[in-house]
Amino acid sequence: MEILSSWPWKIAIFAVLLALRLALYFVEAPQRQRAQRSKSSTRSASEDAETGSGWAETLDSLLITIGLVFFIVQPFVLQPFYIPSGSMENTLQWTPIQDRLLAARWIYRLRAPQRGEVVVFQPPRQAIQGTEKTDDDYIKRCIGVPGDIVYANKTRTYFRNGAKMSEPYVKWSPLVTPEGQQLSYSYDMKIVGGNMYSREYTAPNILSPGYYGQWHYQPAADGSEVPPLVVVPPEQQDEITRAKPEAVPSGMFLMLGDNRNNSSDGHVWGFVPRANVVGKAMCVFWPPRRIGTLDRMSAASTSAPTPSPSNPNAVPVSATQNTSVAIR
C-alpha cells in the first residue's frame, strides 16, 4: 500500500482521472451541441449520449471519492496501516496475520498522546540509522509523557512516578543462543541527564543469577549527523547504576513496543518529539476475525508463556537487534 501513502502517486492518480474526465468532456461536446440544435434526436444518438453521460458520472464519482480520501481523509482524519513486524505482539499481530489498522490523525492535532495509547509516529533519526527503510512510520505504546519518571529493572518490572505499572499487554519471549540454550532476557532502563540509558540482562531464568551488559545510550541526532551509540566507560558504570531516575524531557514521549524483548524502541534510541507524532491507532479492520478496537485488544493481550525447551515462541538472540518496527 505504499502507493496510497506517496504524495507523488496520489497526485499522479488524481491527475490521470482528471485528464480522462476532461478528454471525455471534449469528446462529448459535439453530441451536446447536436442535442441542443435538435430536440428530436434519433434513438441511436440518444443512446450514445446516455453512454457518454454514464462514463462521465463514473469519473466524476471517482474524482470526488479519491479527492476526499487522498487529500482530506488520509492527511487529516483516518489513515490505514499494516503491521510488518512483531514489535507490538500480542496486541497487534504480524506473521502470518499482518493486521491492518486505522489511525486517527486528527486526535493529536487537538491534544498530546496520553499514557497507554498506541501511537503512530515518524521515528527520530537516531532510530533509523543503519536501516534500509527510512521513510516508514513506527507504532509503539506511549509509556511516558513529559515529566513522567519512568524506569525498569531486570525483573521486567516497570515503574512510573514511583508506582509499579500494570501492563497486561506486555509480551516477553525467551532467547535462544546459537548453541540452542534458552535464556531469560530483560533489561534495566532509566533516564539520566536527559538520555535514556539501558543495559541488557540474561540468565537461565528471570530470578536466577545472570549477566549484565554495559550501560549505554543513544544520543539524539544533532543537525544532519547522528552520533554513535555511547557505551559508558567501565569506571563510570556504577555511577549510572546509582543515579536517581529522572523525568521524560519536555516536549518528548517515551514509546515502547509491547513485545519488549523483540522491539527496537525508546529503551534503545530514546524519545519521540511531539512534532513526530502522526496519529492514534484506533482499531484493526482486517482480517475480519481480528476486527476490534485497540483498547479491547490491549486489555485482552497476555504475556508470553513460561520458557520451556519446547517453547515455539522462543526468539533467536540475533532477532533482538535492529528489529524493523515500521508500519505503512
In this prediction, residue 294 carries a pLDDT of 84
pLDDT at 33: 67
Beta carbons within 10 angstroms of residue 263's beta carbon: 25
- pLDDT recorded at residue 1: 43
pLDDT of residue 10: 63
Check residue 63 and give its pLDDT: 60
The pLDDT value recorded for residue 307 is 35
Q: Give the pLDDT of residue 199.
A: 96
Report the C-alpha gap between 99 and 139 in whole angstroms: 12
So where are the chain's domains?
A: 3-77, 83-176+247-327
Indicate the SS3 state at residue 196.
strand
Q: What is the CATH code for 83-176+247-327?
A: 2.10.109.10
Cis before 205 (ω within 30)? no
> Any bridge partners for residue 279, and if so which?
120
Q: Model's pTM, two decimal places?
A: 0.71
Angle of helix 7-37 relative to helix 43-68, nearest 10 degrees, comes to 150
Residue 112 CB partners (closer than 8 Å, separation 6+): 145, 253, 274, 277
Which of 151, 120, 276 lies closest to 215, judged by CA? 151
Distance (Å, rounded) from C-alpha 183 to C-alpha 261?
12
Give the span between the Cα atoms of 312 and 65, in whole angstroms.
Answer: 46
Predicted confidence at residue 320, as pLDDT, reads: 29
Largest CA distance in the chain: 99
Mean pLDDT by 10 residues, the chain (328 residues): 55 74 71 62 49 64 62 62 86 85 90 95 88 79 98 95 94 83 90 96 79 92 83 96 97 96 92 95 89 80 39 34 33
User: Strand, coil or helix: what is 78?
Assistant: strand
Written as nine digits, the cell of 319 is 532477532
Length of the chain: 328
